[in-house]
Amino acid sequence: MTEPAFLSNARIVLINTSHPGNIGAVARAMKNMGISDLCLVAPQQYPHERAVWRAASAVDILDNATVVETFEEAIADCGLVVGTSARGRRIPWPLVNPRVCAEKIVPELPQHKVALVFGREDRGMTNEELQRCNLHVNIPTSEAYSSLNLGMAVQVLCYELRMAAIADSLTADEMAEWDTRLATNDEVERLFTHLEQTLIDMEFLKPEAPKQLMNRLRRMYSRIRLDDLEVQMMRGILSTTQKWVQKARDNDT
């Protein structure tokens, strides 16, 4: 799959991050999803070995990260700024969930830089910082435990952004790249006929009182789509079963 070039315009901005390990975790989450522009606003401990350790194979994201002193510097060249918010505000602001947020961001990425901003671990973004954003996004966590660490929050947003970016290249058909053709209706019907006869030969199915056995077996197999090799394999098993049934009968006589 070709990486969408416009994802290079997506920028992750972290404000006053206190734990260097969180910066490394964010770098890893970004690289997983093909996002490379990381901007750190006045991090409390950076550079730091913990960031490198947590980044694993995403150290290149850290090496190329931009470090600035103010939030204004981080977003100065961005055409759209999205702030992450977990709190309700006295003045309503456009608020969306991560999926809707990604759908709004992707059409703008080919045009200009878009910043996804994450606040401090303990208190998030200030009201003043959120007011500099065009849009607010909230991750709808469980009320029983709503706390997300920074790396997890970035992963959720980056994942949704990637899914929206590659939507056109994804196929809704889970069998589009199957290794053989699907069985025809006629082939499946012959399998059911063979199956029914084998069950009769085994005396598992009584023709005089079939009940709903074959209907239930049809329903079971209909929940999947058999391919031609699977049908051949099943019929081979049935043929061998019939041979053993016949051999057992011959031995009894």
Which pLDDT tens digits describe the chain residue by residue (253 residues)? 678 899 999 999 999 999 999 999 999 999 999 999 999 999 999 999 999 999 999 999 999 999 999 999 999 999 999 999 876 556 677 899 999 999 999 999 999 999 999 999 999 999 899 999 999 999 999 989 988 999 999 999 999 999 999 987 766 566 677 889 989 999 999 999 999 999 999 999 999 988 899 999 999 988 888 999 999 999 999 999 999 999 999 998 7
- Backbone phi and psi for residue 184, each to the nearest 5 degrees, phi listed first: -80, 165
CA distance 164 to 101: 10
Tell me the three-class secondary structure of 182-234, residue by residue: ECCHHHHHHHHHHHHHHHHHCCCCCCCCCCCHHHHHHHHHHCCCCEHHHHHHH
> Strand ranges (DSSP E) for the chain?
10-15, 37-41, 66-68, 78-84, 95-96, 113-118, 135-137
Cβ atoms within 10 Å, residue 201: 16
pLDDT score for 220: 92
pLDDT score for 210: 86
pLDDT score for 91: 65
What domains appear along the chain, each with residue ranges and CATH number? 5-169 (3.40.1280.10), 185-252 (1.10.8.590)
